[in-house]
Structure 1
Amino acid sequence: MRQQVHDKTRRALARVRSVQTEQAGRLPGWARAARRQIIVLAVLAGLAMVLRDRIAHLDWPAILSSVAQVTALQWLGAALATTASFAALAKYDALLHRMLGTGQPSGRAGRAGWVAIAISQTLGFGLISGALVRWRMLPGLSLLSATRLTLAVAASFLAGWAVLSAAVLLILPLPMHGQGATALRVLAGLALLGGGAVTALALYRPNLRLAGWKLRLPPLAVQGRILWLCAIDTAFAALALWLLLPAESGIGFLALYPAFLIALGAGFVSGSPGGVGPFEVTLLALLPPDQTAQILAAILAWRLVYYAAPTLAAMGMLARPPRRAPELAPARLLAPDPDLPVWLERQLARSDQAELGLLRQGEHGVLIDPGARGGWMIGRTPQALVGLLDPFGARNTGRLLDDLRHKARDEGRIACAYKLTPRAAARARKARWHVTLMATECWLETKGFSTDQPARSGLRRKLRKAAKAGIRCTHEACIEPTALTPVAARWHEVRGGERGFSMGRFCPDYIAGQSVIVARKGDEIVGFASFHTNDREWVLDLMRPAPDAPDGTMQALIVTAIEAARISGATRLSLAALPPCPSRFTGPARHVWQRAERMAGAAGLRQFKLGFAPHLSPRYMAAPTRVSLLLGGLDIARQIHAPPPLPGASAPRHGLFHKFRSLSS
C-alpha cells in the first residue's frame, strides 16, 4: 500500500512539473527574460539576507572616514591601474574591428571602444548605450554594425571572463571552503571544458549554423588575444581595488583576485549599472567578515576611480564633434576577383608559375609588392592567411614575408606559406621562419618526351588499352565549357565532391580560361583534363574522367597534353604535386603521413603520376613558429578536403553540384 501511495505521489508531481514546463514554454520572451532576472535577484537577496547582520552593524561614518584617509599615493596607483585596464578594454574593440572587417583605424576604434565601455558600464543598458556611443564616434559605421560590434565585445569579454575565472579558481586559493569550494571547482572544470570545446570547434568546424543563423567562431589567434586582454583588464581592475584597501586589512592580491572575478561576473549578469549591489554583496560574501567596513570603503573609492573618473573623461570625448575618418590608403591586399586587373594579367603572363592561374577561380587575393612590381597569391582559411606558391615579380621576398605576417596579425589569423620551391623556402629560413617538406612536384620535359623508355612500360600498356577501346584525345581550345558539365557532374557524384583551396574546382567560366584536352569515345566525351598555361609551362589542374571511361583514358589525356604543350613552345609540363612519401619520415611524422595517404587515396594517384617517370622537386610549407606551422597545416588540409562554396560563381544546373554562393572572406 505504501509503495502504491508513493508511486501515485511521484506521478502527480511529474504531471505538475510537466504542466509547469508547458506553461513556461508558452511564456513570451519578455516574461522569460524577467524570470531569469527574478532568479538572479532572488539569489542576491538570499546572499543579502545572509549578510544582513554584517550590513546592519556597519559604521557608515567610519566607512566614509576610511575613504577620506586614502592616501595620494593610493589614489595615484589606482588611477594608473585603471588606465592600464581601460587600455586593454580599448584593444577589444580594435581587435574585433579587424576581425569583422569594418575598415576603421585601430586607434579610432580603440578610442571609441573605451568611451563606450566607460559610459555603458555606468549608465547600464550596455548593448544600447554602447552601440549608440560607437555609432556617434565612428563616422561611416552603421548603427547595425555598431550594435553587432557591441554585442561581439560583450560576448567576447563574457567568454574570456568565464575561461579566465575557471582557470584562476583552479589555480589560486578559493575564497570559500567546504561544499561551496567543491561546487566552484566543479563549475570551473566545466567552464574549461566548454572553452576547450569552443577551441576545437574553431579549428575543425569554424562556421556553425544555429537556428538558421550563421555563426563564425573567432580564429584561435583571436581567442588567445581575447583571453590575454581579459586577464590584463581584470587583473588591473582588481589591482586598482586592492591598492585602495588599507594596509591593515591583511587581504593579499592573490586572495582578492578570485573573489573579484566572481563578483564581477555577478554584476555583469545582473545587468545593473556598474554591477552596483550584486558586486558588493558577492565580494563581501567571499572576503573575511571582519573586514567589511574596510572593503566597502575601498569599493566606494574604487568606484570613484574606476567608474566616475572614466565616465567624466568619456563624456568629454563624446561631447567633441565627431571627425570624419580620413580616406584610407588603398589596401595592399587585393581582394579575390576572377576578373583580374590588366597589370596583374601581365604579371601572370611573365611569371614562371603558370599555376598562378588559380587566381582566376576568384577564391584568392594578392598581397601586392611595394611599387606593384609583383605580389603573392593569398588564400584565407578560418585560422590562417596563406601565401600560395612563390611570390611573383617581387625582388624582396623577405619584405613580403613580413607583410604577410603583419596582415595576418591584423586579421587575427596566423601566417604561413604553402607550396614553396626550395629557393623560396631558403629565403623563409633566412627570415627565421620554420620550414617543413609538404609535397613533391612531378614534372616532365616536353622536348624529347618518349614513351619508349623502360621506366614507362606501364604507361605504354595503359595507352594500348585506351587505343583498343577507341579513345581519341584532342586539344580543343574553343570547346564550349558547358559541354564538359555532364562529365564533371558524374565525376562529382562518384567522388562525393571536389577538393579546393590549392586545387581548382569545376566552373565553366574558370575552365574557359584554360587549355583543355578532351577524351572521346566515338562522339561521346568520356573525360577531360585542364591545364594552367603560360609561355614556359603547363600545369595540370582538373582531371575529370567519366566513371565508365576505359582504362588508360587519363594516361592518354596527359600524353596528348605533353605534345600540345611542346607545340605551343612550353618546355615543361607539371603533373602537380603529390604528398611526400611516408618512408622519407621517421617517428610520429611517418604515421601522420601514412594516415593522410590512406585517407586521401594518394597511393593510386602516386602510381598514376610516377608511371610517367617524372622529375621530382620538393615543395615546402613555412610559418613563423612551430605552432603556426602545425595549426596552419591542419587548417589548410581541412580547407582542401572540405572547401567552402566558391565566391561569386554560379553553379551548373545539375543536382549533384553544390550551389556556388557568396562567401565573406
Structure 2
Amino acid sequence: MKAMGTSAPDAVDLVAAHADHPSGVLALNTGTVRRPGTSVPGVVAYRRGRRHTVQFAGPFAAPADRDRLLEEFLEELAGDRGRPPRLTAAQLRADDVARYEARGFRVNQIGTSYSIDLARFTVRGKALAKVRQNVSRARREGVVVTEEDSLAPQPELDAIDAAWLRAKGRHVKELDFLIGERGGLAAPLRRTFVARVEGRAVGYITYSPAWGSRPGFLYDLTRRSPAAPVGTVELVNLTALERFRAEGVDWLHLGLTPFAGLSAAHAPTSASPMLDRALRLIAEHGKAVYPARTQEAFKLKWAPHVIEPEYAAFQGGPRLGSVWNLLRITNSL
C-alpha cells in the first residue's frame, strides 16, 4: 500500500472537524499517515509496518460516514500488491467495537481513559485530599508554575526529557504513536505549563486540544526531573486545570492508560480469551512494559467524571505478529 496523506493544514482541519475522540489530536503525530476520505469527508490515521498496519482510533468522520470511510481504507489495504498487510486498530472507543466486529475483527479491551468535567470539578473534599497535600508540599518547596510559549526553543525542557529517560534506565525508549509530542503539526495548538524552582525548570506538562462531543484539552505529555519536589506534577496540572476552567473550557481529558481498568464487564463478545489473559498479566506484573498501576492511581486521584474502556481490534484475530507489531510501533519493545 502506497502511503498517501494530506498536507499539513488540511490534516489539522480534517482531524479537528471529525475527531470525536478525547485523544484525537494524536492523529497529528509525526510519523503518522493521515488518509483523507475519497467518497466521504474524514480521515484515517495509521502507521505501516512490514506486514502489519496499525490504525490510530477509528475512522474520523461524521457518524453516518464512518462505516464507508473504514470500508475505503480496508479496500485500499486489500488491494495492496503482494501480501496485503493485516490491520490492527488501537484506541477504539466503545461505539467503534461493533463496526470492527462486523468486519471480522476480534476486539479486546486494552486499557481505560479518564476525563474531568471542569464545570463539576472541585479541589475540596476527600477525593482530592492527596492532590491538595502534594500541591501544598510543592509550594512549600518553592515550585512556581507558569504557562510558556510552546513554539519557543526550550533547551531546558529538552534536558528534562533526557534526564527523565536516563532515570528510567538505558533500555527504556519514549513511547510513540499513542502519546503526544512537543513538536509536530499540533505544536501551534499546544499549551505548555512549566514548573520552576528558583528559576530552574524541573518539570512540565503539555496540553493539546480535544475536539468532538467533549471538547477541551488533553493532558498530553508530562515530564519531571529527578530533582523535582514531590507534588510538582500535581501543582502543574492544577494550575493548568484552573486556568482552563476560568477560560470556560469544558473538559480536561487525562488520556488512555494501557493495561489499566481491564474488566470482564467491558469485554466484547469477539474478545480473545488468550489475549485478555496476556493483557491482565502485563497489568499485574508488566511494570517494565508500562507502569499501568502508577498511571491509573495518578488519574483516579483527580476524581474523573468519565471513566471509559478503550479497545484494540485485530483483523483475523490477535496473532502473535499483530500483537508484537502493535507493541513495536508504539515503542513498547
TM-score (norm 1): 0.43
1:406 partner amino acid: E
- Alignment of 1:402 onto 2:71: yes
Seen in structure 2, the aligned counterparts of structure 1 residues 543 and 478 have a Cα distance that, compared at 3 Å, is closer
Aligned-CA RMSD value: 2.8
Residue of 164, 175, 178 corresponding to 1:499: 175
SS at 1:396 equivalent: helix
1:340 partner amino acid: A
2:162 partner amino acid: A
- Alignment of 1:562 onto 2:241: yes
SS at 2:249 equivalent: coil
SS at 2:330 equivalent: helix
Residue of 77, 91, 109 corresponding to 1:419: 91
Q: Distance in 1 between matches of 2:153 and 2:190?
A: 10
Contact 1:514/1:530 (8 A) holds in 2: yes
SS at 2:8 equivalent: coil
Residue of 210, 213, 225 corresponding to 1:546: 225
SS at 1:591 equivalent: helix
2:252 partner amino acid: L
Q: Distance in 2 between matches of 1:498 and 1:592?
A: 18
Structure 2: gaps (5+ residues): 265-272
Q: Distance in 1 between matches of 2:185 and 2:308?
A: 31
Task: State the partner residue of 1:531.
Answer: 207
SS at 1:341 equivalent: helix
Q: Distance in 2 between matches of 1:509 and 1:367?
A: 15
Higher CA-based Rg: 1
Q: Distance in 2 between matches of 1:433 and 1:610?
A: 31
2:315 partner amino acid: P
Q: Deviations over 1:72-98 (max 9, x none)?
A: xxxxxxxxxxxxxxxxxxxxxxxxxx6
- Summarize the alignment of residues 310-349 of structure 1 with structure 2, pairs less than 5 Å apart: 334-335=4-5, 340-342=8-10, 344-349=11-16
Seen in structure 2, the aligned counterparts of structure 1 residues 530 and 582 have a Cα distance that, compared at 3 Å, is closer
Seen in structure 2, the aligned counterparts of structure 1 residues 583 and 639 have a Cα distance that, compared at 3 Å, is closer
Q: Distance in 2 between matches of 1:554 and 1:570?
A: 21
How far apart are 1:522 and its partner, in Å? 2.2
How far apart are 1:592 and its partner, in Å? 4.5
Seen in structure 2, the aligned counterparts of structure 1 residues 605 and 435 have a Cα distance that, compared at 3 Å, is same
SS at 1:334 equivalent: coil
How far apart are 1:377 and its partner, in Å? 1.3
407-416 or 506-515: bigger deviation: 506-515
- Alignment of 1:368 onto 2:59: no
Q: Distance in 1 between matches of 2:88 and 2:229?
A: 41
How far apart are 1:516 and its partner, in Å? 0.8
SS at 1:504 equivalent: coil
Q: Deviations over 1:158-213 (max 9, x none)?
A: xxxxxxxxxxxxxxxxxxxxxxxxxxxxxxxxxxxxxxxxxxxxxxxxxxxxxxxx
Q: Distance in 2 between matches of 1:594 and 1:382?
A: 31
Q: Distance in 2 between matches of 1:482 and 1:511?
A: 13
Seen in structure 2, the aligned counterparts of structure 1 residues 509 and 424 have a Cα distance that, compared at 3 Å, is closer
Seen in structure 2, the aligned counterparts of structure 1 residues 514 and 591 have a Cα distance that, compared at 3 Å, is same
Q: Distance in 2 between matches of 1:368 and 1:469?
A: 50
| Greater relative contact order structure (CA < 8 Å, 6+ sep) | 2
Seen in structure 2, the aligned counterparts of structure 1 residues 448 and 582 have a Cα distance that, compared at 3 Å, is closer
Task: State the partner residue of 2:270.
Answer: none
How far apart are 1:561 and its partner, in Å? 2.0
Q: Distance in 2 between matches of 1:566 and 1:512?
A: 21
Task: State the partner residue of 1:296.
Answer: none
How far apart are 1:532 and its partner, in Å? 1.4
How far apart are 1:453 and its partner, in Å? 2.4
Task: State the partner residue of 1:601.
Answer: 291
Task: State the partner residue of 1:105.
Answer: none
Task: State the partner residue of 2:120.
Answer: 448
2:312 partner amino acid: M
Residue of 176, 190, 193 corresponding to 1:517: 193
Q: Deviations over 1:32-65 (max 9, x none)?
A: xxxxxxxxxxxxxxxxxxxxxxxxxxxxxxxxxx
Q: Distance in 1 between matches of 2:204 and 2:66?
A: 37
- Alignment of 1:623 onto 2:314: yes
How far apart are 1:594 and its partner, in Å? 2.5
Contact 1:440/1:616 (8 A) holds in 2: yes
How far apart are 1:617 and its partner, in Å? 0.6
2:74 partner amino acid: R
Contact 1:356/1:377 (8 A) holds in 2: no
Seen in structure 2, the aligned counterparts of structure 1 residues 474 and 449 have a Cα distance that, compared at 3 Å, is farther
Contact 2:26/2:177 (8 A) holds in 1: no
2:325 partner amino acid: D
1:334 partner amino acid: M
More strand, by proportion: 2
Contact 2:147/2:193 (8 A) holds in 1: yes
Q: Distance in 2 between matches of 1:591 and 1:582?
A: 13
Contact 1:519/1:527 (8 A) holds in 2: yes
Q: Deviations over 1:445-464 (max 9, x none)?
A: 11131121212221121111
How far apart are 1:510 and its partner, in Å? 6.1
Q: Distance in 1 between matches of 2:255 and 2:234?
A: 15
TM-score (norm 2): 0.81
Seen in structure 2, the aligned counterparts of structure 1 residues 508 and 626 have a Cα distance that, compared at 3 Å, is closer
SS at 1:641 equivalent: coil
How far apart are 1:494 and its partner, in Å? 2.0
Seen in structure 2, the aligned counterparts of structure 1 residues 525 and 439 have a Cα distance that, compared at 3 Å, is same
